[in-house]
Structure 1
Amino acid sequence: MIRTIGRFRWTIISLFVGAMVINYLARSVLGVAAPVILTEQAISNVEYGWITGAFQLGVMLQPAAGYFLDSVGLRVGFTICVAIWSLVTMAHALVNGWFGFAALRALLGLAEGSAQPAGQKLVAEWFPSKERGAAGGIYNIGASFGAVFAPPLVAWAVMMHSWRLAFVIAGGIGLVWALLWYLHYDSPSRHRRLGSAERDYILSGQEARLAARKERPSILALARRRDLWGIALPRMLADPVWGMLSFWMPLYLARVRGFDLAQIAMFAWLPFLAADLGCMFGPAVVAFLQRRNVDLIDARRWAFTLGAAMMTGMAFVGLATNPYAAIALLCLGGFAHQTLSVTVITMASDLFAKNEVATAAGMAGMAGNLGVLIFSLLLGQMVDNVGYEPFFILLGILDLIGAVLLWTLVRKPA
């Protein structure tokens, strides 16, 4: 008799997509509202650079968030993290002045930094190796959708009340989701709705070398592993693109391309929609190559390299004379970024054991956010003097260097 394999694991990843939507909605509201806030609060580009930099400093503590999740578990640990970032998001409605924004952004980054480690731990625990890429792509769609929803939310909030209302709504949605997660999530070994056939299917498709170990993960031991640097350094070079799209693109469209808030709401979500397609394109490339007998790690490296090649189009954004051509190139950048970003993020679950994957993903995320921090501070300090064009050119070539590092440092498991 053939046992029917359930699909409850996909219900779990769908629930987590909601967290990613809320996570990136909460962090994107500031970027969309920036033209209004900076004018109202008399905040300069340099000060805005420090505000965005403070967020990256908070997110750079991802290793601590990952260690917390590996130690406490996803049900309780992630509930706490989502509740904290939701309350901090709502607190944005009460603040005035650039220093207050910077303090809240640091706290927000600290709490929101838990999302990617949580996602990688979820994928490692709930999916066989052949489905991890698709699962990672699906939950990362939430990141893009959160950024898609931010422009219309901010525009509506400004028309109805003020930009402060957008922060209250985004935070309130997060609190509701945290309660739903606590009530409905549990680990695969304990979840009452997971059937035995599906549980066996998940376990049989996972690598024995990645089984959870008795000892707790050691950050120092992970830092000595070549594989960690092989995924962390490419992320450090890749993530500034997402920082540009999330925090600086609305300002660029307003101050360089002459867009008003209505036009920003109309066009600023398009690169994130393209990014959604990239979330699925990267895993599709990996699956295509695996069907042609390419090793999993090599397939991921080729997908990253393809995304890096497409990212070179970003170098021409500042040179485009037509603003809609610039939007199209930003869309290509969003698509290319998520193609390669989802690929390298998922590699944490290919290379590290279940009880260390969140810590490893957090350490790689710290490197990625260090890249965004450096980029944001440089942009804030220099944009008034040199313009945006040199930064777009830099974004167009950094991922090619990342591809070389990925091929050089990551070793295929024996």
Structure 2
Amino acid sequence: MSDAETASKPVTTGARQARRRIPTRYLVLALIFVITSVNYADRSSLSITGSSLQRELGFSTVQLGYVFSAFSWAYVLAQLPGGLLLDRFGARRIYALSLGLWTLVTAAVSLVGLITTPVLVALILVFALRLLLGVFESPAFPANARIATTWFPTAERGRATAVFNSAQYFATALFAPVMGWVTHEFGWRWVFVLLGVLGLALTVLWLRWMDSPAGHRRVTPAELDAIVSGGGLVDLEPGKSRGEHSRAPLGRRRIARIFGTRALWGVYLSQYAVNALTYFFITWFPVYLVKGRGLSLLQVGFVAALPALCGFLGGLAGGFFSDTLLRRGRSLTLARKLPSILGMALATSIALCTFTDSSALIVAIMTLAFFGKGLGSLGWAITTDIAPPEATSFVSSTMNAFGNIAGIVTPIVIGYTVQATGSFAVALWFVAAHGLLAVLALAVMGPIQRIRFDER
């Protein structure tokens, strides 16, 4: 063998290994999927433990509804500051701080009532901790959207946002049975201890491994060029800019331009409607199964996993369907709207639960409805398609703020209607109506295109 042949052999082997190498952006997506799963487990933990916590601490049904809503009051109000912090300091630092703080607050819930505590004091403590959870989790989804915009080409962004958004369903499918079992065997406090340990481990992993595309040690020049040429905005993170986008601060004209965009108001309204179904599922659904259908807490953990699993599959299907339409030459508007409208129309089937007393049929209907909700949950993909490079986190945060007003309204309305009527029938019709609201908002939102500022 000649010297030239010998020299070329390792290069060929290295090239083959490079071709088999998993792109770094997929590992980034896997990491934010896992973090988002724990994020949703944290915020939905109270729904699984709610019946036990309510009984031990002495909360009424209406008081429990307010506790369920506490997260969203703070979550909505903290969205804008969270988005501005992300645009100023980047996702890596703000996400790490957010993850560490929300983990500590989650773990602290386990301490409430360890010593004899009046009901009002326990109520204030749990309410306050849920408020803090909302504040500290507020940057998470805007950070996810920012990371998707930074790391993924446009033609892959529907799938990327669908994957991290579907983590909310995966979290319930995975954690609801575990949390139900832990609550049944060891008590509700240990659920919050378990989530605290998971969150702290993920905080350490994030800080040690995560970086921007331009600065990540694992990203190859070929992958970086593929992201940039496909429309990924790799220079969003502070200190990593390749100089392609302006970093000028937002002013009144730019903010007015953002809020004057018709498509953005369409996604605001549709995200509100989508989240109404989300918050029914992560707050009152387990309580509905216990009090309305007579299931045991252990059964609820497994039953709640079925609609969640189908919501997860629907979420992935919506993202892949959207990107497939885009690759086949369909317009961005059609590729994002069609799965969204079909899915949210299907989600209205939740109202059919009021026509049957069969628990098995009710679970089947819920499963169908939440598959539709998953299919139609493309609000984050649309937001990353619309947001200007200079204000990706600002736009994501405002969308998330509008959407999560549903987290305030839905638990409280359901709490009052259940207490007033003694059943969940009105509550289910209330939730189903939001599916129609989403369809209407998506239908009239106009074309989907990125906002560009006039710099003249």
TM normalised by structure 1 equals 0.94
Give, in angstroms, the shift of residue 223 of structure 1.
3.0
> Quick check: 1:133 aligned with 2:168?
no
Does structure 2 conserve the Cα–Cα contact (< 8 Å) formed by 1:235 and 1:368? Answer: yes
Of the candidates 51, 57, 71, which is equivalent to residue 35 of structure 1? 51
1:214 to 235, 238, 247: 247
CA distance in 2 between counterparts of 1:94 and 1:410 reads 50
Query: SS of 2:402's equivalent?
Result: helix
In 2, Cα distance between equivalents of 1:150 and 1:207: 33
* 1:78-122 superposed Cα distances (whole Å, 9 cap, x missing partner): 000000000000000112422211111111011112221011001
Q: Is the 8 A contact 2:151 2:232 kept in 1?
A: no
Measured after TM superposition, the shift of residue 151 of structure 1 is: 2.4
Q: Does 1:265 align with 2:301?
A: yes
Q: 2:144 aligns with which of 113, 119, 128?
A: 119
Partner amino acid, structure 1, of 2:358: N
Structure 1 residue 292: deviation in Å? 4.3
> Which residue in the other structure is 2:353 paired with?
317
Q: What is the CA–CA distance in structure 2 between the aligned matches of 1:220 and 1:51, rounded to whole Å?
A: 34
> Which of these residues, 73, 86, 93, is aligned with residue 57 of structure 1?
73
User: Aligned to 1:68, which of 85, 93, 98?
Assistant: 85
Question: Structure 1 residue 160: deviation in Å?
Answer: 4.2
Which ranges of structure 2 fall in alignment gaps of 5 or more residues? 1-11, 114-121, 237-243, 451-456
2:35 corresponds to which residue?
19
Q: What value does the CA root-mean-square deviation take over the aligned residues?
A: 2.1
Aligned match of 1:403 = 439
- Does residue 1:380 correspond to 2:415, yes or no? yes
Give aligned-pair identity as a percent. 27
Matched, 1:364 2:395: no
Deviations 1:124-179 (A, max 9, x none): 00000000011111222322222223322323323443210110110111011011
For 1:92, the equivalent position in structure 2 comes to 109
Distance 1:384 1:102 in 2: 20
**CA distance 1:217–1:186, shift in 2 (3 Å):** farther
- Which deviates more, 280-289 or 238-247? 280-289
Whether the 8 Å CA contact 2:307–2:367 is kept in 1: the answer is yes
Task: Find the aligned partners of 1:175 and 1:260 in 2 and give their Cα distance.
Answer: 31
What letter is aligned with 2:247? K
Give the SS at the match of 1:318: helix
1:65 aligned partner, one-letter code? G
Matched residues in 2 for 1:28 and 1:411: separation?
Answer: 35
Equivalent-residue separation in structure 1 for 2:324 and 2:259 (angstroms): 32
Structure 1 distance, partners of 2:161, 2:52, is: 35
Q: Secondary structure at the match of 1:356?
A: helix
Change (3 A) 1:204 1:291: closer
Matched residue of 2:420: which SS? Answer: helix
C-alpha displacement of 1:291: 4.4
Amino acid at match of 1:64: P
Distance 1:65 1:406, change over 3 A: same
User: Greater Rg, structure 1 or structure 2?
Assistant: 2
Give the one of 226, 238, 255 matched to 1:201: 226
Offset at 1:207? 7.0
* Offset at residue 217 of structure 1 (A): 4.1
Q: Is the 8 A contact 2:170 2:312 kept in 1?
A: yes
Among 201, 205, 208, the residue aligned to 1:183: 208
- Structure 1: where are the runs of 5+ without partners? none
Task: Give the Cα separation in 2 of the matches to 1:95 and 1:73.
Answer: 34
Residue 140 of structure 2 is aligned to residue 105 of structure 1 = no
Highest RCO, 1 vs 2 (Cα 8 Å, sep ≥ 6): 1
* Cα distance, 1:340 vs structure 2: 1.2
Deviates more, 1:354-363 or 1:265-274: 354-363
- SS at the partner of 2:389? coil
Q: Which residue of 2 aligns with 1:192?
A: 217
The answer on whether the counterparts of 1:236 and 1:368 sit within 8 Å (CA) in structure 2 is: yes
Stretch moving more, 357-366 or 118-127: 357-366
User: Which region of structure 1 is more displaced relative to structure 2, 396-405 or 100-109?
Assistant: 396-405
**1:245 and 2:281 aligned:** yes
Aligned counterpart for 1:326 among listed residues 348, 362, 369: 362
**Greater CA deviation, 96-105 or 81-90?**
96-105
| 1:213 partner amino acid | S
On the 8 A contact 1:314/1:329 being kept in 2, the answer is yes
Q: Deviations over 1:319-339 (max 9, x none)?
A: 222001111111112211121
Matched, 1:308 2:341: no
Distance 1:246 1:295, change over 3 A: same
Equivalent position amino acid for 2:110 in 1: A
* Rounded Cα–Cα distance in structure 2 between residues aligned with 1:33 and 1:212: 47
**C-alpha distance in structure 2 between counterparts of 1:207 and 1:168, whole Å:** 38
Structure 2 letter corresponding to 1:228: L
Counterpart CA distance in 1 for 2:128 and 2:108 is 11
Distance in 2 between the 1:133 and 1:185 partners? Answer: 22
Superposition TM-score, scaled by structure 2 size: 0.86
Q: Output the CA distance in 2 between the equivalents of 1:182 and 1:127.
A: 21
| Aligned match of 2:6 | none
Q: Deviations over 1:260-279 (max 9, x none)?
A: 11211221111111111011
Amino acid corresponding to residue 355 of structure 2 in structure 1: L
